[in-house]
């Protein structure tokens, strides 16, 4: 005979919780729904009964009553990216404290994926959305407007979108990028490479044209490029388009681009990499050319990590407050959900340079 499957007891109902606690159904509902007035003694009895019976509230029924699903939608570019993983840690912790759950969708920096994801989150009736949008200054952002038209609060993460006055949480990208380039200049470097630049077929031929191209990329990358250019201008260093990558934003694409830079008659003596994959691609190119840092080229990367501390020599890195970005974004979104109708705010958190051993004087 086939083995019998174990029988599972049906989930406890709110009527059973009320009976076990010796209260009416309405009192149990107010207690477990966290609304209305209930004495501390009665609340304790109801909660004890619910725990004993392993009662789980019907979230669908509750959402029909409260018009809330207790869920937030979160759109990030790439959840495998250490930056977004750190941000999600902060969002998840804040959601847990506030009694919310997060639905996370990775869009791969693809605007069509992002538009579809917004539709999914609206169908799920999330209470609010946090989004690190792939939209540039010229892109159609009507999908975000669709969410706003449905009275779904939206908080922008890591990237501003000029078309909206929305709560936004970013870091001081331009200032910290300029500070990193200033570190190179103070050591005597004049040939400083920037990775990643705009993904265009034809490189910019002037600072103005590069800034125009920067407007066609995501906000954070554009701000870092502006900081790089401001440091050059302040030091009187002429812009060289050959020292800004314009190819695919991948580890392999970066390795090829940096390899070409290192073959120039006057190769770069310093390099700032604005993403983890950009830094790894640059390191691959340096190793392939049988060069070493900081002996032949000085390096600074974004997004500090444990591996940057333990490789030899350890890398000077820009540390972003990843978890705090997530906490701030989630807290601001929860305030909007709870009815805060104040003016939109831009929260700018401070990144900092972690000095290690990858910057030196340029080679003679």
User: Which residue matches tokens 């380039």?
Assistant: 181
The model's pTM is 0.80
| Structure confidence at residue 8 (pLDDT) | 53
pLDDT at 66: 52
| CATH number for region 173-320 | 3.40.50.2300
DSSP state of 338: T
> In this structure, what are the phi and psi dihedrals at residue 118, rounded to the nearest 5 degrees?
-60, -40
Domain boundaries, the chain: 14-57, 70-171+322-349, 173-320
pLDDT at 60: 47
Same CATH topology for 70-171+322-349 and 173-320?
A: yes
Cα gap 119→196, rounded to integer Å: 31
Q: What is the pLDDT of residue 64?
A: 45
Q: CB of 192 within 8 A of CB of 279?
A: no
CATH number of 70-171+322-349: 3.40.50.2300
HSE-up (13 A, CA, CB side) for residue 253: 16
Which stretches of the chain are DSSP H helices? 14-21, 25-33, 40-53, 59-66, 82-98, 111-123, 142-149, 173-186, 207-214, 219-235, 251-262, 276-288, 306-310, 322-337
List average pLDDT for each run of 10 residues in the chain, which is 364 residues long: 53 85 86 76 88 72 62 93 93 91 94 95 94 89 95 95 94 97 98 85 66 71 91 94 87 94 97 94 97 97 92 96 96 92 94 97 92
């Amino acid at each position: 005979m086939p083995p019998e499957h174990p029988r599972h007891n049906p989930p406890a109902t709110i009527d059973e919780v009320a009976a076990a606690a010796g209260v009416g159904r309405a009192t149990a509902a107010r207690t477990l729904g966290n609304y209305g007035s209930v004495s501390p003694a009665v609340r304790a009895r109801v909660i004890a009964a619910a725990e004993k019976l392993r009662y789980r509230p019907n979230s669908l029924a509750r959402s029909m009553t409260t018009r809330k699903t207790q869920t937030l939608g979160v759109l990030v570019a790439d959840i495998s990216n250490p930056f977004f993983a750190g941000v999600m840690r902060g969002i998840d912790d804040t959601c847990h404290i506030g009694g919310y759950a997060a639905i996370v969708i990775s869009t791969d920096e693809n605007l069509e994926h992002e538009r579809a994801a917004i539709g999914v989150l609206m169908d799920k009736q999330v209470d609010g959305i946090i989004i690190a949008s792939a939209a540039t200054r010229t892109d159609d952002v009507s999908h975000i407007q669709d969410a706003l038209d449905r009275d779904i609060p939206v908080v922008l993460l890591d990237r501003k979108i000029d078309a909206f006055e929305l709560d936004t949480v970013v870091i001081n990208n331009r200032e910290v990028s300029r500070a990193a380039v200033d570190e190179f200049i103070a050591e005597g470097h004049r040939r400083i490479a920037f990775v990643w630049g705009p993904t265009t077929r034809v490189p910019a031929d002037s600072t103005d044209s590069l800034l125009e191209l920067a407007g066609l990329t995501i906000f954070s990358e554009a701000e870092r490029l502006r900081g790089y250019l401001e440091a050059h201008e302040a030091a009187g260093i002429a812009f060289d388009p050959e020292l800004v990558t314009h190819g695919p934003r991948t580890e392999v694409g970066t390795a090829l681009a940096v390899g070409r830079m290192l073959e120039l008659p006057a190769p770069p003596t310093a390099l700032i990499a604005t993403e983890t994959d950009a830094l790894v691609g640059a390191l691959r190119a340096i190793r392939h050319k049988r060069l070493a840092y900081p002996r032949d080229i000085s390096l600074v990367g974004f997004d500090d990590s444990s591996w940057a501390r333990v490789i030899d020599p350890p890398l000077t890195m820009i540390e972003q407050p990843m978890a705090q970005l997530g906490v701030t974004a989630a807290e601001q979104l929860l305030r909007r959900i709870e009815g805060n109708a104040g003016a939109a705010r831009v929260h700018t958190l401070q990144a900092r340079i972690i000095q290690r051993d990858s910057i030196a004087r340029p080679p003679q």
